[in-house]
Structure 1
């Protein structure tokens, strides 16, 4: 019985092609992730230094602007700001307010936090007498430019060209209290407006590049892996066909050195096994021919004995010997039926066997299912015939049931006899082993039928399962591969 994979192994592809492809893709992905992490770490460190330097320069410029407005009389300040708006030429959007304007911050961002901390420390250092300083990064759509609630979108484009781009960028907002009730409002963009993107590990461009490289690896690796594994598939098919008794041409000795060596070893093994099977058949034929004469002589000499009791005992031993020889020969012949597998419609196939048993006076039931199986007809008939014969000998009546379970066809033959002790089930396949109730029901049997049926099932790539049936009786189930895959679990 095949063991099912456990744990993470269940998620792996079952084919070598799938596993090698998965391994290549996983290797490329891990390499890309490691390279991206190293690159992003270096880029993040460089970005932090660049942002800190840019923020320090902006802080110095803002401090110069504050000192300039502090040097002006309060009534001149609005006029200068109006001139700035009309003439341009400054990097800041400037306004005066009676109180600090609420700012809706963009939220915590590592690079933004570094910039804000640098700007604030620079302003405090350059403006030691102006301790009330507020800085923040705000998205343009949320930016309020006056203490009366006026938003950036309400101003003409000519006044806000310093801080408005086609693609929105965070605006650095600085507010400094010059005197009580007089706050200077400065807004500008960082020298690199989209500096926040430099700290991202994955961007759309990076993801597209990785996807293209992965696609290239998959497109190149699948043909290479398929070309590499094709000889292994041929070897698997040859081994399966040889195990089923089919004649297959020799494997081509092409491909890698390892496969050529494997193909040669497989060919040599197939020849040795073929010679062994042929020698075994010739040996049993020779034994059958050679033992026939001594057994006949023993029978003739037994007839010359005067003691009737002794003569009867001799005849009984000779008959048992002859039966064992015939049984062994029959076992070999039944297991080595050379046929070509063909598609068998089980309804008609089993119906003929059932009618034959019913004509002999036996009670056998069978329900058609419409299923088919690919097998050797004579061998399959011998296997099912042995199971049916056992069921009719040891049970009152027999039932044959066919069903498709996953990738297999199951042919169950059940009797309604006394069943088999659980501890004796493993012994039923051994030759010449017959249980007590079996000898009573069928004294002429030799105990070879189940072994022959199992050999035929294994030659088809299946198995024979034995168990006591629920409600009494014994059930032998012949499990054969379902090449068509039709049917569901029953």
Structure 2
């Protein structure tokens, strides 16, 4: 299982998850501390209550033992006819079988406390049985009679606490051979149920409510604090594609205000630097045309034709470099607004301009979802690459892999390809492999610059069957 895809990536989600984890751990630690202290107090209270009940059991035993044998049952009948007492008492000829409840710390504490007191108060008795049983499985009077079989007046008010029906404490003492005293009773509140829960349902609901309330406040606070940070991230992303972005509003925490102010200053300096560089470069390129023209006129005044040809050749190369520089500035000028570009329609338009006799551009049949970009720049990029394929290979094929993250366009032809040792140098300005005079060796460099400005990349490789493959990756960073 790839757990990383479930791991939160945003600051908001991570903060909420860590807050939830911190609250959970804090509540767990507090609950364990509270449980330990509360349980110690409960056990001490239960031990005291059980010892007090055992003392009353011992008094009951002493009372009945003081009566003559023939009067004991008469007294019991009178007590039952009166509605019973706090305890249910009976004399049996055998030990009654008890179905015990599961062992717990609370049960063991109560049983141990009662046995200790009874053995201390009644040292003459050798056999003392102490156990807890559920009301529905409690046997009384004999092993064949259940508590539910008795008349309600005999034990209902003594051993019933509907609808809770807590466990019943049963003490059996062997007074003599074939004579057992049976005492059943309920523990006093709050130990009636012998519950050993770490946390109750009401406490769980309270903790969930507190946690939800804390997460709501945390979400509101973090969302308000991260809004300027999200705007700063979006502006930095947009800056990579368009330097001419409006300045950010300085808001939020002091650290965010400082970061926003620094970002605005950086953007302003970059804008000034690019504007000054383009203005200077354009001015130099434009001003060079005048001395070039002047040198041509002076070269015509030379009497040696060979020198004239050499001068003109050098001037042609210089003029070509100046024109190429101007073209580079013009073709990589990205002063456009970002819009949703329909690449499918753009590719169809470019292919139609090249399709003619013996030259074909084969497009894929898939439709490309619109991508955020600068249409004129992207069209220059794709036109340069397809034009190169048509020029050197005549037939060009395109394939598109469109995903939610990026658009990958593969362009390949049947041309001669590029020597491996020149794979990197072809992107440099004025590097041309063809021997003709068409072009200035700027197409691939311009295409790469445009893709880089869009956050993309371009790679080239020679195909085994011949031809060149160009792969363009255009991310959907701004969708």
Q: Which residue of 2 is the match for residue 257 of structure 1?
A: 254
Q: Which residue of 1 is the match for residue 328 of structure 2?
A: 331
**Superposition RMSD in Å:** 3.2
Give the one of 259, 263, 267 matched to 1:266. Answer: 263
Give the one of 287, 290, 307 matched to 1:290. Answer: 287
* 440 and 281 in structure 1: CA distance in 2 versus 1, 3 angstrom threshold: closer
* 124 and 279 in structure 1: CA distance in 2 versus 1, 3 angstrom threshold: same
Q: Which residue of 2 is the match for residue 451 of structure 1?
A: 445
| 1:219 matched to 2:213 | no
User: Deviations along 1:155-191, whole A, 9 cap, x unmatched?
Assistant: 2332222221121212112122222222222111111
User: Deviations along 1:111-141, whole A, 9 cap, x unmatched?
Assistant: 1111112212222222223222222222222
Give the 3-state SS of the residue equivalent to 1:137 in structure 2: strand
Q: Which residue of 2 is the match for residue 385 of structure 1?
A: 383
Give the one of 148, 153, 156 matched to 1:153. Answer: 148
Could you tell me whether the CA contact under 8 Å between 1:295 and 1:322 is conserved in 2?
yes
Could you tell me whether the CA contact under 8 Å between 1:106 and 1:139 is conserved in 2?
yes
User: Deviations along 1:207-246, whole A, 9 cap, x unmatched?
Assistant: 1111111122122222222221111222223223332216
Give the one of 126, 130, 134 matched to 1:131. Answer: 126
Q: Which residue of 2 is the match for residue 22 of structure 1?
A: 17
Matches within 5 A, 1:43-442: 43-88=38-83, 90-160=85-155, 161-166=157-162, 167-192=164-189, 194=191, 199-245=196-242, 247-296=244-293, 304=302, 306=304, 308=306, 318-359=315-356, 361-371=358-368, 372-395=370-393, 397-417=395-415, 429-432=427-430, 439-440=433-434
d(CA) in 2 for partners of 1:213, 1:243? 44
d(CA) in 1 for partners of 2:79, 2:418? 106
Unaligned runs of 5+ in 2: none
More displaced, 424-433 or 17-26?
424-433
Under a length normalisation based on structure 2, what TM-score does the superposition of the two structures give? 0.87
d(CA) in 2 for partners of 1:477, 1:317? 37
* 50 and 400 in structure 1: CA distance in 2 versus 1, 3 angstrom threshold: same
* 79 and 243 in structure 1: CA distance in 2 versus 1, 3 angstrom threshold: same
Under a length normalisation based on structure 1, what TM-score does the superposition of the two structures give? 0.85
Could you tell me whether the CA contact under 8 Å between 1:468 and 1:474 is conserved in 2?
yes
d(CA) in 2 for partners of 1:471, 1:262? 53
d(CA) in 1 for partners of 2:417, 2:192? 83
d(CA) in 1 for partners of 2:262, 2:143? 92
User: Deviations along 1:57-100, whole A, 9 cap, x unmatched?
Assistant: 12222222233333344444333332232224532112233332
d(CA) in 2 for partners of 1:332, 1:396? 29
Could you tell me whether the CA contact under 8 Å between 1:401 and 1:413 is conserved in 2?
yes
d(CA) in 2 for partners of 1:97, 1:196? 27
Give the 3-state SS of the residue equivalent to 2:98 in structure 1: coil
d(CA) in 1 for partners of 2:103, 2:322? 92
Could you tell me whether the CA contact under 8 Å between 1:246 and 1:340 is conserved in 2?
no
Aligned pairs, number: 474
* 339 and 75 in structure 1: CA distance in 2 versus 1, 3 angstrom threshold: same
Could you tell me whether the CA contact under 8 Å between 2:397 and 2:413 is conserved in 1?
yes
d(CA) in 1 for partners of 2:400, 2:135? 75
Could you tell me whether the CA contact under 8 Å between 1:465 and 1:477 is conserved in 2?
yes
User: Deviations along 1:420-475, whole A, 9 cap, x unmatched?
Assistant: 678876665444556xxxx2587755554333223322333433354566876423
* 447 and 72 in structure 1: CA distance in 2 versus 1, 3 angstrom threshold: farther
Could you tell me whether the CA contact under 8 Å between 2:93 and 2:180 is conserved in 1?
yes
Give the 3-state SS of the residue equivalent to 1:233 in structure 2: helix
Give the 3-state SS of the residue equivalent to 1:359 in structure 2: coil
Unaligned runs of 5+ in 1: 1-5, 485-490
